Amino acid sequence: MKKNKLLIYTLFAAIAFTSCKKELYEEPFNAISDDAAFSTPDRIDKSAVGMYDALQNANYFSGRILIYADIRGIDANPNNFFGQMNLFNTLTAADATVASAYQGAYRTIYEANLFVKNFTPKASLVTAEKANQYLGEAKYIRSLCYFYLVNLWAQPYDFTADASHLGIPLVLEAASDPFATSNNIARSTVKQVYDQLEADLLDAEAKLPLTNTDAFTRVARATKGAARALLMRLYLYKKDYTKALQYANTIISSGIYALRPSPEVPFRNYLTTESIFSVAFNGGDNPNTNNAIGQHYGASKRGDISVADEYLTILNMATDKRFLNLIEKVGTNYWTTKYNAGTTDYVPVSRYAEVLLTKAEALARNTTTGVNAEAVGIINNIRSTSGADNIAPATRDDLINLILRERRIELAFEGHGILEFLRTRRSIPAHSIVPEQAWGSNYVVFPIPKYDMDKNPNLVPNPGY
């Protein structure tokens, strides 16, 4: 079986044209109508695969959006390839890199919406199980894009007591007329965005298969595990620790996922049971050398992003395999080796380690006094797998701080950087040439791009931009 067929099929290349005679009224060879694209079960499946192709957007989930979250944290050294993005106060609404990411996200969202629009009237052509799967995949992909949009372009959920501050525009349908004024959608509140994400992910969880039969599609196509992992993260960011714990336990009790015996394994074999969902790439279907996550992080590739001293100081460099096996020194700088394949690294979205860390945090925060022993045991299990020493917190606050440190160590360079500070109401410490960014500062969120505001008069800027 060709395990990577998901990424080498594309919607247009898959359609065979048998007529040798071309008439003016016939469809062009390089495109087909929406009606034809959804005319058979096989074509519908290839159209569903097209949503994953859209998710690979070079400026968004090629890995770029994970990079942007991390270079605005403190564990990656500032670099000039991404312009002013990681310097905060000098970033402007005219920044082209920010605009490309914002537009890349909405491009993927459009493709997911377009699939739903075209598939819905043709759903009877496939089994009910397949129909549910496709709709669940569309809602998961859309939700994943919106999760990063709302958390990078808007202040965190509890910035206001009722999350009534401005979020991002919610585009839930593919427009028939791209020039209609109805497309000029205003920004929803953060609460409205989170409510939509919750509703979509709950629906996706209900519709998606528990797992897929082969290892490739188990990781590279959405499953219940993927939807549950994103729901878990959503509830953690809302500070709904009871539901975050509930979803962590549901993933754990499924028995599908497990930690690997050493921390580098899921970054050398992308299809282990530690990976819940990743954006997959291969030699024939990958971002270019200026957009792939491995190019930016790898010392032997573009070498744009080296590891900051702030990260190294929280590791036991003598015994922790997350240093010994996932960090290398080249010249005078240290580099992560989580990504070392250049353009073909998978982009990690959800890993089982995050599930365990979230369970530990939820347990600790739901314990009003004292130290939650189960949470300590979870962290020590992760640390022993990596060869790190055990923790022995004396108080509840000590435990929470140690869990946040462990998340920083374990999930480094996987798109959690600045988001971890924002969701926990912490200022971003001064580092390198970057001054401290106080929690709630105007500049800890991206500007709404000027290009998009010029096109859409209903968009308003973020304060300070």
Confidence of residue 17 (pLDDT cuts 50, 70, 90): very low
Q: What residue has token string 């500032």?
A: 78
What are the distances in angstroms from CA 308 to CA 246, 332, 443? 35, 12, 21
Work out the mean pLDDT of the chain and round it to a whole number.
93
Find, among 68, 60, 64, 43, the residue nearest to 108 by Cα. 60
Confidence of residue 182 (pLDDT cuts 50, 70, 90): confident
Would 463 be classed as within a structural domain?
no
| Alpha-carbon gap, residue 255 to 352, rounded angstroms | 11
Q: Which amino acid is at 426?
A: R
| Alpha-carbon gap, residue 279 to 3, rounded angstroms | 15
| Alpha-carbon gap, residue 63 to 276, rounded angstroms | 16
- Which class for 321: exposed (0-12), middle (13-18), buried (19 or more C-beta within 10 A)? middle
What pLDDT, on a 0 to 100 scale, did the predictor assign at position 298? 87
Would 465 be classed as within a structural domain?
no
pLDDT tens sequence across 187-214? 999 999 999 999 999 999 999 999 998 9
Q: In which element (H, E) is residue 49 found?
A: helix 41-55
Confidence of residue 410 (pLDDT cuts 50, 70, 90): very high
What pLDDT, on a 0 to 100 scale, did the predictor assign at position 80? 87
β strands within 356-437, DSSP E: none
Would 390 be classed as within a structural domain?
yes
Would 460 be classed as within a structural domain?
no
Q: In which element (H, E) is residue 71 found?
A: helix 64-71
Phi, psi of 242 (to 5 degrees): -65, -45
**pLDDT surpasses 70 at 380:** yes
Q: What residue has token string 């996200």?
A: 105
Give the whole-number percent of the chain exceeding pLDDT 70: 93
Q: Which residue segment(s) compose the domain that 30 sits in?
A: 5-455
What pLDDT, on a 0 to 100 scale, did the predictor assign at position 32? 81
Mean pLDDT for the stretch of residues 56-61:
98
Would 46 be classed as within a structural domain?
yes
| Alpha-carbon gap, residue 442 to 122, rounded angstroms | 46
Number of folded domains in the chain? 1
Would 461 be classed as within a structural domain?
no
Find, among 116, 150, 310, 347, the residue nearest to 233 by Cα. 150
pLDDT tens sequence across 59-78? 999 999 999 999 999 999 98
What pLDDT, on a 0 to 100 scale, did the predictor assign at position 131? 98
Q: Which residues pair with 285 in a beta bridge?
A: 282
Would 59 be classed as within a structural domain?
yes
pLDDT tens sequence across 213-226? 899 999 999 999 99
Q: What residue has token string 């509140």?
A: 189
pLDDT tens sequence across 39-55? 999 999 999 999 999 99
Mean pLDDT for the stretch of residues 166-181:
93
Please check whether residue 196 is in contact with residue 254, taking contact to mean a CB–CB distance below 8 angstroms.
Answer: no
Would 438 be classed as within a structural domain?
yes
Please check whether residue 335 is in contact with residue 307, taking contact to mean a CB–CB distance below 8 angstroms.
Answer: yes
Residues 6+ apart with CB under 8 A from 332: none
pLDDT tens sequence across 105-162? 999 999 999 999 999 999 999 999 999 999 999 999 999 999 999 999 999 999 999 9
Least confident of 5-19, 37-51, 65-79, 330-344: 5-19
CATH of the domain at 223: 1.25.40.390
What are the distances in angstroms from CA 206 to CA 202, 223, 227? 6, 10, 9
What pLDDT, on a 0 to 100 scale, did the predictor assign at position 29? 52
Cα angle 162, 167, 446 (rounded to 5 degrees) comes to: 125
